[in-house]
Structure 1
Amino acid sequence: MPKNKTAAAEQTSAAPLVRTEPIQERSAARIDALLDAAAAVVDEIGFDRLTTAMVADRAEASIGTVYRYFPDRIVLLQALRDRAIERYRQAIVERVTGETPETWVEAVGSAIDAFVGMFRTEPGFRIIRFADAERGPVNRDEPPRVGFFALRFADILAAEYTLPDDEALTFHLEIVVELVDALINRAFLIDMAGDERFIAEARTVVREYLETRYPAAA
């Protein structure tokens, strides 16, 4: 085969690989845009009235584009929930590593701060019951993921502070997730900025609950 034909063949075979990354990036951007639109609609009218047509209209996309990524509204809401939960986990890591709390009490406080921050800044986050997301799978085909956040946070606290790395710590942090989720959701139920009384009580309840179990480390 002549040299120039070999080069042309190599370029042809390589072309799909070269285009893969931009295509993936465009798909990710479309998905984010659709989820942003869904979050905006949810904040306005609630998740129970959300339709894929509303999302398409808000995102200025065709209904076919919505169905390409989300076959129905349930899958769309699940994706919105999962994105919000992942962003919260990232916010926790950023706060704990960025602020470098001196004690585990301050680290837990940073986690609560991040949770409150998500309510105030992340569109659509208010409709998500964080504890529910932690308790069960997205759909019936997935294995349970009970206590996933508690397990990861226990790893951080055990590694950075003097708390024991055992199942008891994970269990106690599961209790914390339930308490914080209930109280912070209540804080934003009526007050869009968050009722500071409930937020303050959430901090107090969590601190006192953990200090009774880990007094030497407090």
Structure 2
Amino acid sequence: MARVQRMLDACAELLDEGGYGELSTTRIAERAGVAIGSVYQFFPDKKAITQALGLRYLDLFSMRVTQRLAEEAFEHWTEAVEAIIDEYIDMHRTVPGFRSLHFGDVVDVRLLDPEADNNQVIANRLRELVVTTTEAKEGEELDRAVMVAVEASDAVLKLAFRHDPDGDPTLITEAKLLVHSYLSRHFGPR
């Protein structure tokens, strides 16, 4: 529905401008050009709107990663991992609101799913992509490896973007090296 998309777009813009603390349903309604009642028709509060935005980002990230993995021929799994990290970095730089919200940690570590923290939701989605696009076998070892890789890269990439809106290139390189080194233990060296 176009009205909901306008509200989510307005939420993203306002997050970039003032962060979650400055966000309100009234400001979202004004920016989206809708009545406040329209906001409440779909979302009970600003947390619900940011949750919907976080889920939209997760779907967009998954779609971008899936498309990139399908379009490019990777000689080694490390190149696929780098492509996934590059998609995250590009979203950080170009998708309105993503820099402020990421996948929702700023609001609630269980924003995307009340049963799992946000990084677990992302790791589950990436694990599904890895299994469907590679010869990786499902199991506890893969689950754990993807979870650790997501947590580690998330921490270093947050650090990379903390003081540099484009991401400190040295720290981005370190995040990729960290994930490559760790995953090499599970999937073999380059």
Match of 1:190 in 2: 163
Distance in 1, matches of 2:23 and 2:84, equals 30
Q: TM-score when scaled to structure 1?
A: 0.77
Q: Is the contact made by 1:101 and 1:107 (CA closer than 8 Å) also made in structure 2?
A: yes
Pick aligned residue for 1:127 from 77, 100, 109: 100
The residue that corresponds to 2:173 in the other structure is 200
Aligned partners of 2:82 and 2:176 also within 8 Å: yes
SS in 2 for 1:147: helix
Change over 3 Å in CA distance of 1:69–1:115 after alignment to 2: same
Choose 1 or 2 for highest CA Rg.
Answer: 1
| Counterpart check, 1:76 vs 2:49 | yes
Consecutive unaligned residues of structure 1, counting only runs of 5 or more, are 1-27
1:116-155 equivalent positions in 2, closer than 5 A: 116-130=89-103, 132=105, 136=110, 138=112, 142-144=114-116, 147-155=120-128
Note closer, same or farther for the CA distance 1:131–1:34 as it changes in structure 2 (3 Å cut).
closer
C-alpha change, 1:181 and 1:131, in structure 2 (3 Å) is farther
What secondary structure, in the 3-state scheme, does the structure 2 residue paired with 1:157 have? helix
1:1-218 aligned at under 5 Å gives the runs 28-130=1-103, 132=105, 136=110, 138=112, 142-144=114-116, 147-215=120-188, 218=190
Structure-2 separation of matches of 1:131 and 1:77: 7
User: TM-score, normalized by length of structure 2?
Assistant: 0.87
CA shift digits 1:85-106 (9 cap, x unpaired): 1111111101111113222111
Which amino acid letter does the alignment assign opposite residue 55 of structure 1?
I
The Cα of 1:162 is off from its aligned counterpart by: 4.6
Offset at residue 180 of structure 1 (A): 1.3
Q: CA RMSD in A?
A: 2.4
- Indicate conservation of the 8 Å contact 2:26/2:36, yes or no: yes
Segments of 5+ residues of structure 2 without an aligned counterpart are none
The one-letter amino acid paired with 1:193 is D
